[in-house]
Every structure is written in C-alpha cells, then in structure tokens.
A and B are shown apart, each in its own frame.
Chain A
Amino acid sequence: MSLVWRRAVCATARTCSAMAQHKTLCTARPALVKQIVCAEEGNVTVIQGRVMPSPRENRVVQTGGGTCACPLCQLHLDIKHTDVLILSQFLRSDGCLLPRRVSGVCRLQQRRVQQLVAMAQKAGLMPNLAPSSSKRDPRRRFGFKKFNKYYDESTIRDVQPFSSAMSAR
C-alpha cells in the first residue's frame, strides 16, 4: 500500500518539472546568504545586515539523479533520531524546522524529518538548538521529561526507511 503510494507520488514529481528543481546542476555564482546581527554599544543599538557566502558552500553531498528530486530521496539514507548531525541541518538556531521551500525536500521526507526531529528534541539530544528563553539542560525539565528516552523509528508510518522500500522495487 505504501509502496504504491510512493510510486504515485514520485510519478507526479517527475511530471511537474516546474516544481522539481534539479539540484545536481552546479551554478557558476555561489549562493549568498544573509544574516542579521544586533549589537549594543552603550545606548546605541546597531542592527546590521550581512551578506556572506553560505557556510555550507563546499560541504554539500553531490548525489546522482533519481526518480525524486529531493536530496534525501536521492541519498537513500536510513536516518535515525540519534543522527543529530544530519537532523540539525534542517533546524534554525532556535530549534524550528526549516520549510520545504528552503530545504528542497519532498513532502513525505519533510514529514519524516519532522517526526525524527521531534523524537530527538524530546530525547534531549539537541539542547543547544532551542529558544533563548528555554532551559538548555534536559535535566532541568519538569517531571518525566528530565529522564532519558529513546524512540523507535519504525513507528513513523508515513514514509518507510529506504532499506525496506527501495529494495522492494
């Protein structure tokens, strides 16, 4: 059932080429990103907008093509909720998820990442990516939240991990 659904989705992704941006093409001009920096000097607040090259410029994994244009579908990874180095790439500094139009992943992968990030945050594995007003130490949480938790990724029902879905093709 889920296999038929995935094939149907990827077929639509192939046909609507306007939406599917081919990330495998490399552009001549590097992408410039912006950062807003606030600084207080005495009683003067300076809000500066900096234009700088992306911090991820030479670190992006080059993937081959595939039926789906999203980078996670092309990478064929079985991401666990403990892979914080991968999941943190989809988060802002305050722990919020980046939208799909920024990350470029497809709808199903975005849902899977959303649930994996929720698991990792509840397990207290990414305490530094949190709002500035939050308690950064998981041990200072209230009640049951201060204790260690782990999650089972097979409970995510929307998208199956690639080891089981792609091998059936």
Chain B
Amino acid sequence: MGLSSIAYDLGSGLNGPMSISHLSSPRQQLAFSAKSCSRACITVRAADGNSGSMRAPPSTVRASKLVTNAVAVKSETASIAATKSGHELLLFEALREGLEEEMERDPRVCVLGEDVGHYGGSYKVTKGLAEKFGDLRVLDTPIAENSFTGMAVGAAMTGLRPIVEGMNMGFLLLAYNQISNNCGMLHYTSGGQFTIPVVIRGPGGVGRQLGAEHSQRLESYFQSVPGLQMVACSTPYNAKGLMKAAIRSENPVILCEHVLLYNLKERIPDEEYVCCLERAELVRPGKDVTILTYSRMRHHVLQAAKSLINKGYDPEIIDIISLKPFDLHTIGNSIKKTHKVLIVEECMRTGGIGASLRASIMDNFWDYLDAPIMCLSSQDVPTPYAGTLEEATVVQPPQIVKAIKQLCG
C-alpha cells in the first residue's frame, strides 16, 4: 500500500481502539485518523510519493458550530459525529490550555507567581509556558505575595492583563490589602479611569492532610469585596472556559481552583470556547429538590446523587460556578420548580458562600420555598492534620444523602 507504518493513539476512544485497515487507500486512512482525533499522535513514514498532505491541519477539523459535550445533560442538537471529537485531558492541563491560548491571542497577557516560570508551576499549570513566551511574560517572583499582587494591579492599571498565581490561595491573605483596596476598588475610586483586568487564581480548599494553614477557603473572605468577581471551576471543561473568560474580562476575577481536582480527567472540545463568568451550570435536571454546590463538593454531590437516584429521589444539581455575583436566574428557576433547596459547600458555616447564598435566596424566592433552606458546610474549625478528623470537617456524601432524606421525606 505504500505506507510503511501508522502509529496512532486515540486514548480510550469512544469505540475502543480503531482499526483502519478496511479503508482502501493510504490517503483515506490518513484522512480518517486526522478527522477522528486531532490530538492523535500520528507518525507516518510514507514510501510512495503521492501522499502529499501528510497531516491535515487542525483547523480543518474544527466544526463551525459550538459543540457541547462532556456533561451529564445530553442535548439532542449535538450531532453524533461531534461528540466523538475532542480530546481528553486533566484539569490542570485544561487550565494550561486556556492560559496558553489566551497568551497567544493577546500579547498583553502575562503570568506571575512563585515558581511559575522555570519550575513550571507547583501544580504544573504553567508548565512549558516560560520556554514558549519568555521570562517576562511568565515571571518567577520572589516570595512576596503582597508586593507581586500589588505589582500586577499596577501593571493592569496601565493596560497589561496579568494573571497572579497564588501557590495556595491561603498565601494570598498576605495580599489581602492589595486585592481588596487596590484591585477591587480602584475602578470605582478613580471614577472609571482605571480598569484592573487582573486574574487571581490558585488552589484552595481542603486537600489531603495538608494542615490548617494550607487548607483554607478564601472565597468566604473575598466575597464581600466590592468590584471583584469570583468563580470556582470544578471540571476540566469549565476550568478552561472560565480561565479564558476571566482573562478576557475587564473586571478583576478571582478564579478559585481546588487542590484535589487538578487530576480530574475529562474529554473537552477541540473548538475554542469560552464559558460565561456569571452563569451557573445545570449538572443534572430534576424535580424533587435543588442542590446548589460548587468546586469539589460538586463531585461529592454527584456521588451522593447515585445513591439518591437509586432510592428514587430526583435531585436537580446546579454547580453555581459564579460565587460573586450569584446566578440567581438559574437558581431561581430551579427553586420555582422544586421548592426545596440544599446548599452543599466547603466553606465554613460562619460567613461562607452558603451563608450569603441562603440570604440571597430568602430575599428573592421566599414565596417559592416549601421548606427551610438547608446548608451543609464545613465545621468552623482549623483543618486538622489527622485523616479521620479532616474527613469529618468537610461534608461527605452520606451526610448529603441524609440531608436530602430529611428535606424531601
């Protein structure tokens, strides 16, 4: 046939490893491989001369319509062929992809933080970017959170679009003054003269026995700073989309990631897409009860949902995504349908996201509620080191099941 070998890897492709030997010509074989998976690694050694285009350029495989996939809700408008494409990756890789695409698109986008450059990022989110974009665009800073966050805000005042990486969200407490007073408020106090298009991102939340100081949930501290926007990503799909949206936003955005979600694997579209910073995600439609959650707790809720569905309940699960401002439109529509709400969050009981969300719902949807809003949060304690104790500080799936039983009867 002329082609000596084709090696390709479609990962755990939807139909299992593919065989293309039934296709007649080498060109057909090649075209098929390229269309199926643009991330397939294809090495072709052609013996004959008529194989002109060895590799179809990626742009030709991008569909012109936005393709939605990789979530529980299957839309009937999505075509079968479209759901086969896409590439699988881990959450931290999705963040990197989003970051890299935005840095290519706009030369003003730069990253700064500790060990983001040569080291590649402590969670590998910026791996390879310093080699590609240079040291000034992927800047290794000394350990001075207050100052380099301030520096990013100052650079943003002139028009650059920096992304500040906190190695752990908890370290950004040192930069609280800069985030609250300068980042959040300068647009207002300057009468609109300055925009601060900064993205502040980093992993937070309770990990695996990291200790109290490295298991903080800063979303509760930042939520009342005026002028800031806050989102929390929970899957590779929304991680990439929210990263891109946050970078493109003219407002300062805090992107809350979670230490334990970086290795989550998912298939995401090849086409470029941007998520909406203010829209909540309907993970599973239902009619019995509305479960509002975000970040890691989404996955605990989904785990609990499996046993709830077996027991006959029909929960509607919404990942709120936008922590500031809340997407009351999506949440409200759900409450109007189900009349019962359970909030599952990782923040502490006092002053957390759940507390504010509860107040918001009561203010706006009181008449639609058939039962008091239940809120499951972490305990108001510093996170202990011992594994058993640490498990007890955060909400676990059995507690969620129990709460739903209590709420729905």
Partners in one complex: no
Measuring CB to CB, which residues of chain B are less than 8 angstroms from any residue of chain A?
none
Binding site for B on A (CB under 8 A): none
